[in-house]
């Protein structure tokens, strides 16, 4: 077998290993951590197939707080419990209601939501927020909606909140995010003043020490 063939085989195997999920025993814990799910990538035991013979598999999320800031936890059949990119972000939209989003009469390009079809009915997998006819992850204006803001111990990822113009950012980096300064300048100015204060304090201490040693050497 040639090197090229081996390389392609390795890629295929890696893709299949990422896609295939491990089955888990729901009696040990369902929609939560499960001892059968020993992979850091897929720590949750999730119901992926309903019916008379339900299937539980190890998956990476049970909420969007387990995913990155630009991702959501999917409920789409075949992808349930997987973190997916919110592909509608930044695209043109119209502020449709939740009911209008699931109606086939409205064009797809108007909708600020990831949708899928189930039994010939449109279902919302993740809804965003249409702000000034642009689809965003979340509503920085405080109206709610869109992707989830996360607090302490609400998922596998860190704390996050919605920042202008409608994106989720790390709580600790929030005041320094581009454009946030204009929305919340006080936090930035306090940080700047504190830095200057510490510099001045260091200069004063160094000056006092230098003066003291000069006085001692003169005596």
pLDDT tens string 19-68:
567 999 999 999 999 999 999 999 999 999 998 999 999 999 999 999 99
For residue 54, give both structure tokens.
């339900």
Contacts of 111 (CB under 8 A, 6+ apart): 88, 93, 94, 96, 101
Spatial contact of 197 and 205, defined as CB atoms under 8 Å apart = no
At residue 13 the predicted structure's pLDDT band, cuts being 50, 70 and 90, is very low
The three-state (H, E, C) secondary structure of 4-51, written as one string: HHHHHHHHHHHHHHHHCCCECCHHHCCCEECCCCCCCCCCEEEEEECC
Say what the pLDDT of residue 5 is: 53
Whether the per-residue pLDDT at 106 is higher than 70: the answer is yes
Q: Which residue's entry shows tokens 């209601």?
A: 97
Structure confidence at residue 219 as a pLDDT band (50, 70, 90): low
How high is the pLDDT of residue 8? 52
- Nearest CA to 168 out of 59, 62, 64 is that of 64
């Amino acid at each position: 077998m040639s090197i090229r063939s081996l390389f392609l085989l390795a890629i295929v195997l890696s893709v299949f290993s990422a896609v295939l999920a491990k089955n888990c025993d729901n009696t040990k814990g369902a929609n939560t951590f499960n001892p059968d799910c020993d992979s850091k990538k897929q720590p949750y035991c999730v119901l992926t197939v309903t019916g008379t013979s339900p299937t539980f598999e190890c998956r990476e999320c049970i909420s969007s707080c387990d995913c990155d800031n630009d991702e959501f936890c999917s409920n789409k059949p075949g992808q349930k419990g997987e973190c997916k990119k919110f592909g509608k972000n930044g695209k043109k939209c119209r502020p449709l209601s939740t009911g209008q989003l699931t109606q086939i009469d409205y064009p797809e390009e108007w909708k600020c939501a990831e949708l899928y079809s189930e039994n010939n009915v449109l279902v919302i997998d993740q809804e965003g927020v249409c702000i000034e006819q642009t689809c965003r992850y979340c509503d920085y204006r405080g109206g709610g909606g869109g992707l989830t803001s996360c607090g302490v111990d609400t998922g596998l990822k860190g704390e996050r909140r919605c920042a202008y113009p409608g994106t989720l950012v790390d709580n600790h980096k929030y005041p320094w995010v581009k454009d946030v300064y204009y929305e919340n300048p006080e936090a930035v100015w306090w940080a700047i003043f504190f830095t200057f204060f510490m510099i001045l304090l260091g200069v004063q201490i160094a000056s006092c020490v230098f003066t003291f040693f000069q006085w001692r050497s003169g005596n």
